[in-house]
Amino acid sequence: MSNYQQDEEQLQRLLRGDHADWKKAYDEWRTPFLLYFHQQGITDRDQVLTLLQDAMVIMFNNITTHKLQTPLQSELRTYLFGIGKRLYWRLRSENSKAWNDDIPETPVAPEVEDKEEQRHRADLVRRLLSQIGEPCRTVLDMFYLRGYSMEALAEELELPSEGAARKKKFDCLKKMRDLL
């Protein structure tokens, strides 16, 4: 029996990447995050908000790419605070590690990717999508960005079966690869 059963259930929901679930989480964690960093003496609110957003993106990435898995070693909220702490250290240099609190060291994936690098890669997909044409653009957008299942995708695009949707997606990915 896990110590963090509720958080693990929430993790399963967040894993799907549905923004509605993530918004709920953001609304739940935002105020505690601001309070926590304020208590640590970081009084610049805008700085903490930037920290929160960066930490949320890393958490989103780590969850949707299965880097964070069950069984959890802490609450999800604590995990987020841990990422925020690491980001803050990175900003302030390692000297500021004298941090008097009860947030454990959080196993954040080592490649906390640079924001600019992320943007560059995102732009690449946007460019490829603009070249790939329809219906591939819609198929890939629905599957990768809007989280449609193959079944839902088939239904939405009026394809005869789930298998046909898989095939369509396969063709589109190949086409995309060839454009690289």
Partner 1 sequence: MSDELVLLEKIERYHTGAMAPAERSQWEQILKTDETLRTEVLAYAPVFGAWQALRNDQFRQSLGAWEAEWQEVEESEAIENWLTSQSNDAWVNQKMQADASFAEKVNQHKQLLEGFSAARGQNFHSAMQSWESKQAPLNTTTENTGATIRPLWRRWAAAAVITPLLILVAATYWYANSNYSNQSLVESYYQQPSIGNTLSGQGATIDELTAAFNTAHDHLYNRRYPDALKLFEQVETMAATSQIDDLSKQYFIDNAQWSKALALLGNDKAANAEELLAKIAGNPSHAYHQQALELQKNLHSFLRRLSN
Query: How far apart (Å, rounded) are the C-alpha atoms in residues 137 and 168?
Result: 11
Centre a 10 Å sphere on the Cβ of residue 103 and count the other Cβ atoms it contains.
Answer: 17
Query: Do 62 and 77 touch, CB atoms closer than 8 A?
Result: no
- Quick one: 12 or 96, whose CB is closer to partner 1? 12
Residue appearing with tokens 């993790």 = 11
- Quick one: 18 or 101, whose CB is closer to partner 1? 18
Candidates 90, 91, 145, 161; binder of partner 1 (CB under 8 A) is 145
19 binds partner 1 (CB under 8 A): yes
Query: How far apart (Å, rounded) are the C-alpha atoms in residues 173 and 125?
Result: 11
- Quick one: 108 or 128, whose CB is closer to partner 1? 128
Write down the least CB distance from residue 22 to partner 1, Å: 7
- Quick one: 28 or 155, whose CB is closer to partner 1? 28
> Could you give the angle at which helices 45-64 and 76-92 cross, rounded to 10 degrees?
120
Candidates 1, 27, 130, 158; binder of partner 1 (CB under 8 A) is 27
One-character DSSP codes across 24-72: HHHHHHHHHHHHHHHHTT---HHHHHHHHHHHHHHHHHHHHTT-S-SSP
Centre a 10 Å sphere on the Cβ of residue 80 and count the other Cβ atoms it contains.
Answer: 24
Per CB under 8 A, which of residues 148..177 are in contact with partner 1?
Answer: 166-167, 170, 173-174, 176-177
Binding mask 36-75 for partner 1 (x = CB under 8 A): -------------x---x--xx--xx--xxxx--------
Residues that bind partner 1 (CB under 8 A): 17, 19, 22-23, 26-27, 30, 49, 53, 56-57, 60-61, 64-67, 117-122, 124-126, 128, 140, 144-145, 166-167, 170, 173-174, 176-177, 180
